[in-house]
Structure 1
Amino acid sequence: MRLHKLWSGHAPYKRLRSGGVFSASPPMVLAGGFMLLILLGAGLLCLPFAADKPLGFFTALFTATSAVTVTGLSILQADTQLRPFGYAVVAALVQIGGLGFVTFAVVAAMSLGKKVALQYQAVALEAFNQTSVSKIRATAFAVFKLSAGIEIMGILVLTAWWLPGSGFLQALADAVFHTIMAFNNGGMTLPGTAMSRYLGDPITILSTTALIILGGIGFSVLNDVRTKRKWGTLTSYTRIILLATLLLNLFGFLMIWVLEYGNPDTLGQLPVHAQALTAWLQSVASRTAGFHSLDLAHMRDETTLVLMLLMFIGGGSLSTASGIKVGTFVVLLAAAWAYIRGHREIVLLRRTIAPDTVQKSLALLLVTGALAFVATLLMCIIEKAPFIDILFEVISALSTTGATRDLTPGLSSPSHLLLIVLMFVGRLGPLTLIYSLSTQRASRVRYPEAPFQVG
């Protein structure tokens, strides 16, 4: 079956052509691919040797969804601890889900020597943040090269550091699992890699945060840095994302440290260097990675609010992170600042931002915000839990962060089902919206303008 027969930008719904070839819009194929991967993962996790006690299908489905969407939320109980096979399945699902179905599809098609149809080219260009079809192949393979190089380096560093405390095979297995989870912003841990064991450990924490940042900053940014290597030659987009990522991480780091400094249930009992490392880990991991070395349920409400903001923003485009994305956040800030100053054009680093980009950013913000509101309302109706815990859980699932204030395991089945939907939509929703916007046709009908009051 040829690839160009699989994709069509002319119809928003699936159909069966006269020749018997199934065709669907890019968002549907993307969502279908992730859904099949989740079902496959759930089936593997249901096998009797995947856990100490066989998992029910719903528990396996929740775990597989959490892994494929690189979220990290879990409803596993102590007596259903995963075995090595189960952890291997979870790691594979996170690896595939982190790099993204589109990346795998494009690379597979290119490897087989297939020509990419015009409709698919538009999707790939948008996904890879490129303007030339000739760059798709190079960018797609760069994703794998960069991912492999970064993950191998992380595995080597962590294996060497953890080796004195355990045997080589155990250290290697822990390092492989932890690296995959950190780089792909998965947030899950093995019993021996829980971050609470490494309070004040600079190598483990700095290695973990470096992997999270590299995985969440965006492959187009990493590739631009790799090929150009000088600040002045980097694209304006790359420089903006690098600066915004640094500022967001520093903002979170300082706010968490200041707000939790005197809290005896979190940072208050730690030495100064451990406080700094823990606050840094929590700031970086809140940008959709989900690792934590503190009990989030004991954090102050103001700190929790900061974490929710970081989770909602997320990471960079074409990355293993989710959220509305750093680029979206920056464009919205720039648009608001330009309007306040009375400027018609939105300018970042001496480059004008197109109106379509602003509209797309607004659409992403409103759609994501509406989903968060509806989900929070439904969970407040279903559950008898503090509002801030419910809101945190919803933002965490929708941004595929995976952090929780000890609420996930105790939720009812309807709420768990709602979290499954949020994780799935949070990973695919913004992407499918972008694809829909990138393939829409401009209307030839023009209507007269009317005055309309806002603000």
Structure 2
Amino acid sequence: MKKRFVHLSPPQSLILVFAVAIFFGTLFLLLPVATEEDISFIDALFTATSAMTVTGLVVVDTGSVYTTFGESIIMVLIQVGGLGIMTFAVLIYMVLGKKIGIKERLLIKQAMNQTSIGGLIFLIKRLLIFSLSVELIAIVFLSLRWVPEMGWRDGIYTSVFHAVSAFNNAGFSIWSDSLSGYVTDPVVNIVISFLFIIGGIGFTVVFDLWNKKQFQHLSLHTKIMLVGTFSINVFSLIIIFVLEYNNPDTLADMSSSGKWLASYFQAVTPRTAGFNSIDIGQMEESSLFYIITLMFIGGGSASTAGGVKLSTALIILLATFAVFKEKDNVVLYHRSIRPFLVMRALALTIGSIGVIIVSVFVLNLTEDASFLTILFECVSAFGTVGLSMGLTGDLTLIGKVVLIMTMLIGKLGPLTFAFAFAKSTPDPVKYPHEDVMTG
């Protein structure tokens, strides 16, 4: 009798690997040594999913409910989820001296959102060295701030936890008010924001900058990410500063420098770090809606950030301008963007909007909250951001399950799930064109 083996595609394998990692993370968080009090399976599952997808939404307070062991499990899940579970799988392969075959390389390509399998192993080695080096440097700077305040043990532990959480764009904090206690602290604000900006811009961008240094020699993707990130961060800083300037619950009572620092942190954290230094729930509705837009856009491809990605949003925007100008091609920096990439960006955006619509629709039926609060929470979950207006802790069972699925889809991407469950059917025949009226 012949044995039958189930052959999984790279997207299916990636989903399975993530699900298994989340399951074991849940079991570890349910251990008595991991918590100060009993928690339900669904709360442990939510926390494990939030950590593995580097989101940062929490249904129970991390610092008071979880022990140091439990927080360490969360930190491991964040590191594995942020840098990519396949990154650590490759590390284990190399330590054991095993050969990494084509199947594994295809899975790595899918997990890291790369266009080819060439140079993947070298990229992963550099990624690990770079990531751990940046985190170590940040731990030193944060320790200089927190060790004098908390002592050696607590100061170093706090620095390690927040450095790992920030670089991987997770947004987990051991304090219930996140970083609100350090809203005007320049060291904490600059180091933490530096970590999640570097982690969220994309590793391929960082390595491209390291290798080429001159702007004109950089790849088109790197140019898009550098100019786009700088522009959107500066614009967001001004928007938040203006909208919150007279808000007595956020910036009004701060000094001028404090207002700028708090505005800067809230401007850069939605893409997609999840830390906050002021009470998000007390911000103006206009600010909250703008933050929802930032959370949906997200960071860079091949990074620890989520969202549809900045490059995707820019391609859609450029394609729209091309239509307005009646151009056939999308051109940027004297380079044409292939129609396939425009279609892929459009599919990703529409798929993402679809996931959010379903999540919002269900939560509007199950949760006792305003539409803006529900929309904010769902986009935060999908963008793996972690910012919250306070709804997550009061979610019903159905609400928790919906956000768990939203976080997982947001981390792996709607297209990964589409490729995993949709059968590929290439057209064997080319059909004649016929126009359809639009607009």
Match of 1:347, SS? strand
Find the partner of 1:230 among 185, 189, 214.
Answer: 214
Unaligned stretches of 5+ residues in structure 1: 1-16
The alignment status of 1:139 with 2:97, answered yes or no, reads no
How do 1:218-257 residues align onto structure 2 when only pairs under 5 Å count?
218-257=202-241
Shift of 1:444: 2.5
Q: CA deviation at 1:136?
A: 1.4
- Separation (CA, whole Å) in 2 of partners of 1:369 and 1:79: 33
1:88 and 2:72 equivalent? yes
In the TM superposition, what is the alpha-carbon distance from 1:193 to its structure 2 partner?
8.7
CA distance in 1, matches of 2:357, 2:389: 19
Q: Could you report, residue by residue, the CA deviation over 1:341-398 in whole angstroms, capped at 9, with x for unpaired residues?
A: 1111111111110111001000000000011111111111112211100110110111
Shift of 1:408: 1.0
String of CA shifts for 1:151-199, please: whole Å, max 9, x gaps: 1111111011222212112111000000011000110111399311112
Aligned to 1:338: 322
| 1:305-354 Cα distance to aligned partner (Å, 9 max, x none) | 11000000001001111100011011111111111111111111111101
Answer yes or no: is the 8 Å Cα contact 2:28–2:73 preserved in 1.
Answer: yes
Q: TM-score, normalised by structure 2?
A: 0.94
CA distance in 1, matches of 2:264, 2:433: 50
Q: Which residue of 1 aligns with 2:381?
A: 397
- Which one of the candidate residues 145, 170, 176 is aligned to 1:186? 170
* Kept after mapping to 1: 8 A contact 2:63/2:173: no
3-state DSSP of counterpart to 2:413: helix
Q: Which residue of 2 aligns with 1:12?
A: none
**TM superposition shift of 1:410:** 1.4
Cα distance change on mapping 1:424 and 1:222 into 2, 3 Å: same
Contact in 2 for aligned 1:52/1:82 (Cα 8 Å): yes
- Decide which of 150, 159, 164 is 2:134's aligned counterpart: 150
**Does the 8 Å CA contact 2:10/2:106 hold for their aligned counterparts?**
no
Cα separation, partners in 2 of 1:349 and 1:442, compared to 1, 3 Å:
farther
Does 2:60 correspond to 1:76?
yes
Residue number in structure 2 paired with 1:287: 271
**What one-letter code is carried by the residue in structure 1 that aligns with 2:101?**
V
One of 425, 429, 438 as aligned partner of 1:445: 429
Q: Distance in 1 between matches of 2:369 and 2:295?
A: 21
Distance of aligned partners of 1:171 and 1:431 in 2 relative to their CA distance in 1, 3 Å threshold: farther
Partner Cα distance (1:360, 1:151) in 2: 33
Distance 1:234 1:436, change over 3 A: farther
Q: Deviations over 1:225-279 (max 9, x none)?
A: 1222222322121111111111111121111111000111111111111111111
| Secondary structure in 1 matching 2:32 | coil
Q: Residue 84 of structure 2 contacts residue 111 of structure 2 at CA under 8 Å; is this kept in 1?
A: no
| Cα distance change of structure 1 residues 124 and 294 upon mapping to structure 2, 3 Å threshold | same
Query: 1:363 pairs with 347, 352, 368, which one?
Result: 347
TM-superposed deviation, 1:302: 0.6
Structure 2 portions without partners, runs of 5+: none
**Letter paired with 2:289:** L
The equivalent position to 1:116 in structure 2, one of 87, 101, 112, is 101
> Counterparts of 1:34-433 in structure 2 under 5 Å?
34-76=18-60, 81-109=65-93, 112-117=97-102, 121-122=105-106, 124-125=108-109, 128=112, 133-191=117-175, 194-430=178-414, 432=416
Find the aligned partners of 2:175 and 2:224 in 1 and give their Cα distance.
38
CA distance in 2, matches of 1:423, 1:190: 21
> SS where residue 220 of structure 1 aligns?
helix
Q: CA deviation at 1:102?
A: 3.4
Distance 2:115 2:379 in 1: 33
One-letter identity of the residue aligned with 1:413: L
Give the whole-Å Cα distance in 2 for the aligned partners of 1:67 and 1:406: 18
Say whether the 8 Å CA contact 1:123–1:435 is kept in structure 2: no
Aligned-residue Cα RMSD (Å) equals 2.3
Percent of aligned positions that are identical:
35
Rate the CA distance shift 1:402–1:137 in 2: closer, same or farther, 3 A. Answer: same
Q: Tell me the amino acid that sits aligned with residue 308 of structure 2.
A: I
The answer (yes or no) to whether the contact 1:312–1:395 under 8 Å persists in 2 is yes
1:105 Cα deviation from its structure 2 partner? 3.8
- TM-score normalised per structure 1: 0.91
Change in CA separation of 1:201 and 1:95 when aligned onto 2, cut-off 3 Å: same
Going from structure 1 to structure 2, the CA distance change for 1:96 and 1:191 (only over 3 Å counts) comes to same
Give secondary structure in 2 for the equivalent of 1:448. coil
**Aligned residues between the structures:** 438
CA distance in 2, matches of 1:105, 1:23: 19
Instruction: Give the Cα–Cα distance (whole angstroms) in 2 for the partners of residues 164 and 277 of structure 1.
Output: 23
1:47-79 Cα deviation digits (max 9, x unpaired): 111111122211111111111111111111599
Please say if residues 199 and 305 of structure 2, whose CA atoms lie closer than 8 Å, have aligned partners that are also in contact.
Answer: yes
Secondary structure, aligned partner of 1:49: helix
Change (3 A) 1:331 1:291: same
- C-alpha contact 1:107 1:137 (8 A) present in aligned 2: no
What amino acid maps onto 1:173 in structure 2? Y
Post-superposition shift, 1:208? Answer: 0.6
Q: 1:431 to 1:127 in 2, by over 3 A?
A: farther
Moved more, 88-97 or 334-343: 334-343
The one-letter code of the counterpart of 1:289 is: A
